[in-house]
Amino acid sequence: MRIAIVGGTGAFGLALAKRAIAAGDTVVIGSRDAERAATAAAELGAEGATNEDAVRAADLVVLATKADGALETARALRGAIGATPVLCVASELRFAKEGVFPTDEATSIAERLAAEVDAPVVAGLHSLAAATLGGDEPPEEDVLVCGDDPDAKALALELAGKVADGRALDAGPLAGARALEGLTAVIVNLNKRYRAHVGIRVTGIR
Ligand SMILES: NC(=O)c1ccc[n+]([C@@H]2O[C@H](COP(=O)([O-])OP(=O)(O)OC[C@H]3O[C@@H](n4cnc5c(N)ncnc54)[C@H](OP(=O)(O)O)[C@@H]3O)[C@@H](O)[C@H]2O)c1
């Protein structure tokens, strides 16, 4: 699979790239700056390109920019992405002294993103922390993916199954992205409270 990681110079994109390359996939690291992409990619043995060039000819686009920039980035890449499936990993979080809160938005960032592109959008991988994903071994965690387009979801599940040591699980329609994104706030609060790197294990599935 040829995977374009938009905003791939960040901690999450680099960790995902490392795992995907180890699993035999071809990765293009995308950035707003071609030189930054090339430098980051060279360390991984990946290709580097501007976000726009990266998404062309990809089988799957992973939108891994800082969450604040995800919608604007998708809007700008609409033409270049075309019909290529997009995996949104973003969670909007609000940091306050009482803890980390999910966004006040009524819909998930993934659902809003789906309105910005012509491609099918799926959401997932939110519970994989960059720190564990980029470690020496694939994290022993399950990975949740939701989406409405079966083919796009199958691609995202294929990637999810390669980058973690747990199961890649189909978590239903894209409307569930609201819960997955909100779960990120819960995970960050757990990490802070217990000084941990929390992951997800779903029980009861045979
Ligand atoms: N960090 C985690 O553990 C984790 C876990 C699961 C999911 N996620 C999600 O993964 C995404 C990336 O996380 P991260 O920690 O890697 O984020 P990050 O380091 O803050 O940002 C990733 C990249 O986004 C690009 N970027 C920053 N601001 C932008 C803007 N306004 N418009 C377009 N691009 C912009 C930058 O790349 P260039 O400057 O090179 O363009 C940056 O390297 C987020 O949406 C996050 O919610 C993160």
Chain segment 55-105, per-residue pLDDT in tens? 999 999 999 999 999 999 999 999 999 999 999 999 999 999 999 999 899
Residue-level pLDDT at 42 = 96
**Burial bucket for residue 48 (CB in 10 Å: 0-12, 13-18, 19+):** buried
Q: Whose CA is nearest to atom 37 of ligand 1?
A: 7
DSSP state of 4: E
pTM (two decimals): 0.98
Cα separation, 4 vs 61, in Å, equals 5
Residue-level pLDDT at 199 = 96
Contacts of 107 (CB under 8 A, 6+ apart): 178
Residue-level pLDDT at 191 = 96
- Residues having CB closer than 6 A to ligand 1 are 7, 9-13, 31-33, 36, 64-70, 73, 89-91, 126, 128-130
Going by pLDDT thresholds of 50, 70 and 90, the confidence category of residue 19 is very high
* Structural contact between residues 169 and 144, judged by C-beta atoms closer than 8 angstroms: yes
CB atoms within 10 A of CB 86: 28
Measure 73 CA to ligand 1 centroid, in angstroms: 11
Contacts of 131 (CB under 8 A, 6+ apart): 11, 15, 197
> pLDDT tens-digit profile of 105-128?
999 999 999 999 999 999 999 999
Residue with tokens 């075309």: 82
Atom number, ligand 1, closest to the C-alpha of residue 90: 45
